[in-house]
Chains A and B, each alone.
Chain A
Amino acid sequence: MTDKIPPQSILIPNRGMVAMDIIRAFQYMGLETHLMVSPEDQTSMPVRLADKCYRFFSSIPENSYMDSETIIEKALELGINFLHPGYGFLAENPKFYKECRQNSIKIVGPSTEILSLIHHKRELRNLAEDLGIPAMTFLKQDPRSAPSDDTFPVVLKQLKGSGEAHIRLIGSGSIYRKHMGEIARKEQEPEEEFLLERYLPGAHRIKLPFLRDQGGHTLFLPEIESSIQRRFEEIFFESPSPGITDRMRKQLTESSHRILEKLHFTGTGHMEFMLNDSHLLFSDIDPVIQPHVQISEITGQMDMIQKQFRIFSGEQLSQSQPVHVIKPRFHVMLAYLMAEDPNHDFRPSSGKISQFFSHPSTKCSMKSILYTGCTVSPIYNPLVGCIGALDNTRDDVIGQMKYFMKSVTVKGVRTNLSFLRYLLDCENFLRGETTIDTFDNTCDIRQQNRSEEETAVAAALLAAAFHRENKKKNFKEKLEKMKQPSVFKRLFNRWQ
């Protein structure tokens, strides 16, 4: 009789869509998945999937998913073999990686030195420029003094990390000075914390997913366009990008390869470029797994998280030549389902889901953390699902998505579904010309023209609902309270 070898285990201090993807990938590989969640998430979907689950004491991110001390303590206590940081929170924090490695916890991700270099946007772009690769220009001056008027609008970003919450578009010098005043109150050295970038309104954002092993073999997957955003957060992804030619694609992979070679990067991630007037400008590297990894999984027909883990444990990619580029074979689209109200300035919406269902087809489906009865917390990111579709042509994918979105019903919180439906009908989008400012400027979808028929239907339904509700209450009394106004008031009302 042979002794049973205890399975290897992995700790996942994360939540939401990414935690779910990681759990699935590792369970498939036969690892025991240990999840750490906040009290707010203790009945969420990932908890139901994980093998074991531990609770933080507080729901505030700083005391839960971002509390490196507690996470490391727990990992040591449990004798965990690996740790996968996921996405967001501590996933791009070089300090956390360092602390983990000092405590001999194997954290899945790039080496600490490379991560801290990537983390520092200015150094990374300097490195690209030294290699002769055009990068996004940042304004090189001290952020405390305002740039000259002709450079506006500018984008103010955090120099380190990739938190979208702090990105601000600044239109003029006076607003700039006001912002800097507020920042200077909080930060000692603003030039160490913030980065100013020229705003390129007509640009497309292009992401190039890659895998690179320790032997230097690099695999590039088809590029992803993610220009559609609101509040500088991407919500729609498309691969291949409609604006990229074969020549550009070659340039994209060549420059990416040179940067990765120089960095000796191992692992997976996305190279981020901006496409402005058919010039490609290097912008960033995201060295982590993101919720839109689903696209690469379809285009590359592989599980990216499993691949990342295999590369991390020293396995080589199965390719003979140093660089391999996968050509796009299908058209893939991915939309983020967010719990927010596009009709009210994309205000986040939270609450208990009273009803949730969708009707997937073979070519379009949704990964989601929602289920009937679950609660969408007000504390975290409003991302609740990824709608993915694939087909042979772009038009077919749009058709698949449109049909699918009709079937998605979420009751209890408001979602951006109406925005996504509006987007799929948008002419700019159908022509494949959406740029990063398309919806940041006109994201108010209330402005869209509603047909008279639709409005009449809405009016009838509103009256019916109002009538029904008032039938239940003691409406007569209420009506009496609404005293008939005087003739003058009535005239005044009419005049108004």
Chain B
Amino acid sequence: MKYQFKLNQKKYVIEIPDNATFHSPTPAKVNRDIHSIFLGEADDGDTHSLFLDNRLYQIEVEKDATGYPTGIYVNGDYFPSRLIKIDRFFYTREKPLESTRSGVVKSSMPGFIKEIFHRSPQKVQENDIILIQEAMKMENEIRAPKTGIISFMGVEEGDNIPVNHVLFKIE
């Protein structure tokens, strides 16, 4: 299979045999060079450890909501990356739930709600601070994505919330 990624403003075409499982050293063609890749350790979730040319790398793939890679951590160093093509199929990014259109705001990290400034059914302007979410001593101001009326409030002051929890909705 032929993958095309863009990293560091440069295109990389990587050719991997279709049925590769990497349980034995597998040749991978990167642009013109051939490297051998071998699985080091069974992965858990998004982290893998892989040998490339007999050197071990710890990697973690960062993905968007649709499950496609947006970046990779190689031994902790981050490379933002973009998938362009798989074989002859172009990857057109599926639009994630656009918060400006639907007005639904979700939490981007776990934390707890420190303060709420506006509640339902108040009218708010775009960029108004709706609430403050604290995560690990760091205060994050969550702002209104658009002008409208808060129709739903998913949290209360002092709540502990996980990732992707609906904070509020603006209509």
Taking Cβ atoms with an 8 Å cutoff, the residues of A that contact B are 59-60, 164-165, 182, 231, 339-341, 343-344, 347-350, 354, 378-382, 409, 411, 414-415, 417-418, 421, 446, 450, 452, 454-469, 471, 479, 482-485, 489-490, 493
Contacts and interface: CB of A to CB of B under 8 A. Distances in A.
Q: Select the residue from B48, B77, B81, B139 with max chain A CB neighbours within 10 A.
A: B77
Contact of B86 (A165, A182, A479): A479
Contacts of B83: 466
B19 to A, nearest CB: 8
Interface of B: 1, 3, 5, 7-8, 10, 12, 14, 16, 20-22, 26, 28, 30-31, 33, 35, 37, 39, 43-44, 47-48, 50, 52, 57-61, 69, 71-81, 83, 86-92, 109-112, 129, 135-139, 158, 160
A489 B52 CA distance: 36
Chain B facing A: main interface SS = strand
B135 A348 contact: yes
Given A59-B160, A455-B12, A468-B39, 10 more contacts: A339-B136, A354-B44, A381-B137, A411-B47, A459-B12, A459-B14, A463-B3, A465-B61, A466-B3, A467-B1
Nearest to B12: A459
Chain A facing B: main interface SS = helix
B29 to A, nearest CB: 9
Contact of A466 (B35, B69, B112): B69
A468 B89 contact: no
Given A165-B137, A485-B90, A458 B14 contact: no
B30 A460 contact: yes
B109 A460 contact: no
Nearest to B77: A418
A462 B73 contact: no
Contacts of A349: 109
Nearest to A467: B16
Contacts of B30: 456, 459-460, 463
B22 to A, nearest CB: 6
A348 B109 contact: yes
Contact of B61 (A379, A462, A482): A462
Contacts of B160: 59-60, 378-379
Given A446-B78, A465-B48, A484-B88, A379 B112 contact: yes
A153 to B, nearest CB: 20
B136 A484 contact: no
Contacts of B21: 468, 471
30 contacts: A341-B78, A343-B73, A344-B78, A348-B135, A349-B109, A354-B44, A379-B112, A379-B136, A379-B160, A380-B137, A382-B137, A411-B47, A418-B78, A455-B10, A455-B12, A455-B79, A456-B30, A459-B14, A460-B12, A460-B14, A460-B28, A460-B52, A462-B61, A465-B72, A468-B20, A479-B87, A482-B91, A482-B92, A485-B92, A489-B90
A411 B46 CA distance: 10
B37 A450 contact: no
Q: Select the residue from B16, B28, B135 with max chain A CB neighbours within 10 A.
A: B135
Contact of A465 (B8, B59, B137, B158): B59
Contact of A468 (B10, B48, B136): B48
Contact of A458 (B72, B92, B111): B72
Contact of B8 (A59, A340, A455, A490): A455
B8 A462 contact: no
Given A415-B76, A455-B10, A482-B86, A463 B138 contact: no
A417 B10 CA distance: 26
Nearest to A58: B158
B35 A380 contact: no
Contacts of A354: 44, 47
A258 to B, nearest CB: 34
Q: Select the residue from B20, B69, B86, B137 with max chain A CB neighbours within 10 A.
A: B137
